[in-house]
Amino acid sequence: MDLGEKLALLAASARYDASCASSGSARVSGTGGIGAAVPAGVCHSWTGDGRCVSLLKVLYSNACRNDCAYCVNRSSADIRRASFGAEELVSLTVEFYRRNYVEGLFLSSGVFSDPDIVMERLIEVARILREREGFAGYIHLKGIPGCGEALLRKAGLFADRISVNIELPTSRSLALLAPQKSGAEILGSMRLLGEAESESREDAARLRSTPRFAPAGQSTQLIVGASPEDDRCIVNLAAALYRRYGLRRVYYSAFMPVAPDPRLPSPTSPPLLREHRLYQADWLLRFYGYGADELFEGAESSFAADIDPKCSWALGHPSFFPVDACRASYAELLRVPGVGPAGARRILASRSSRSLRSEDLRKMGIALKRASWFLSLDGSPLREPAQPEVIRASLADHSPPGKATGRPAPAGQLELEFS
């Protein structure tokens, strides 16, 4: 198999991994330009300082000894298998970088051998890029669960980000759909990465020349809809991962079957609206100060289809509102639908020098169509009170695609306390 074929195959095999946020790209050179088209294998991701970078996204190998039911590369799948050599990947990365196709590399792999051996191969690619090629671009490496601690620590010295995919929200679902995977190994790797990252931060505070461990932190991917867990279970797990292991991002990936399997549901379309609601809730956890338990206070354990989780919370807490924009704290302002962190900061900054009017709020980027139901100015509500159904209808969020699906009761949460 020539290198081009290998690249097409191993880029296609990698496209199901959402832990490096991806959007397809087919950049071509213009007249007089150099290089060939890249029909697959380029995705976009965000660095620790918020820059968007394009990455060559490939697997080292799509051979895998595991048989995860949801995965296109599972051992029982009848697909062409291929593996890169380290030098092939280095030369592809450097070539694409020179041609300005990519600014970095996202490298994952099937578990084609012992986890230590697979991890060593991934590290070797990153090491050659950094040490021999002087490559300073972004590198995202997959952490292979079950590999040794020393290897994960070494990976973090070459990679900007490392991700260990948890894939399923409970140990019960892992045992059913990914029987060779171990929740304890996955969480153990995450814990180790979290510890290494915080040790490196502390060392760097004492000695600035200390090499940073995976400066863009760690991320993971959760598949949504392959197993019966509800949104409450998934949000609780995500919150625990952020809190306990310092993850930077949890990515949610709407499930679509790659092959019929009696253990898997057979949706006609991926649950994109559900995925979208989970991303919205994730945002509330990370930037708005919500606790996972606050997002599901009643009997509900799945997000509403018609409104987003923040509006749901607001409608469920009428006594909290109206929030007075002239007096409220930052945390209170963040609870108002239509007010984000930047808007809340602008309100705080501007009211110290003058009194606020609703026109000022609009100019600050506050979404008054939603916020006006929940805000007051110097004790005067921005809008006349209305029945909850009327407010709910006006808050309806029609933008995301797909349909929400009902979910049965959650199975037991993955055990986060292990050694």
Rg of the chain (C-alpha set):
23
Residues 250 and 71: their CA atoms lie apart, in Å, by 19
CB of 17 to ligand SF4, least distance (A): 9
Residues 318 and 325: their CA atoms lie apart, in Å, by 16
Site residues (vs ligand SF4, CB under 6 A): 64, 66, 68, 71, 73-74, 110-111, 178
* Residue carrying the six token digits 């505070």: 205
Q: Which two tokens stand for residue 334?
A: 């963040």
Nearer to ligand SF4 by C-beta: 171 or 236?
171
* Cβ 32 vs Cβ 236: under 8 Å: no
CB of 59 to ligand SF4, least distance (A): 8
Virtual torsion, Cα 385, 389, 393, 394, nearest 10 deg = 10
Nearer to ligand SF4 by C-beta: 140 or 346?
140
Nearer to ligand SF4 by C-beta: 66 or 358?
66
CB of 411 to ligand SF4, least distance (A): 19
Sign of the Cα torsion 326, 329, 335, 337 reads positive
Nearer to ligand SF4 by C-beta: 118 or 233?
118
Nearer to ligand SF4 by C-beta: 65 or 363?
65
* Residue carrying the six token digits 């792999």: 109
* Cβ 247 vs Cβ 218: under 8 Å: yes
The torsion angles phi and psi of 138, rounded to 5 degrees, stand at: -75, 135
CB of 66 to ligand SF4, least distance (A): 4
Q: What share of the chain is helix, strand, coil (3-state, %, to 5)?
A: 40, 10, 50
Nearer to ligand SF4 by C-beta: 143 or 156?
143
Residues 291 and 297: their CA atoms lie apart, in Å, by 11
Q: Which helix (H) or strand (E) holds 87?
A: helix 86-98
Nearer to ligand SF4 by C-beta: 76 or 355?
76
CB of 109 to ligand SF4, least distance (A): 7
CB of 362 to ligand SF4, least distance (A): 48
CB of 146 to ligand SF4, least distance (A): 10
Nearer to ligand SF4 by C-beta: 218 or 376?
218
> Residue 256, Cβ neighbours under 10 Å: how many?
17
CA-to-CA dists, residue 417 to 120, 245, 246, 250, 316, angstroms: 28, 12, 15, 19, 33
- Chain-centroid distance of CA 256 in Å reads 18
CB of 155 to ligand SF4, least distance (A): 17
CA-to-CA dists, residue 24 to 5, 56, 125, 334, angstroms: 18, 11, 24, 34
CB of 414 to ligand SF4, least distance (A): 16
Nearer to ligand SF4 by C-beta: 114 or 199?
114
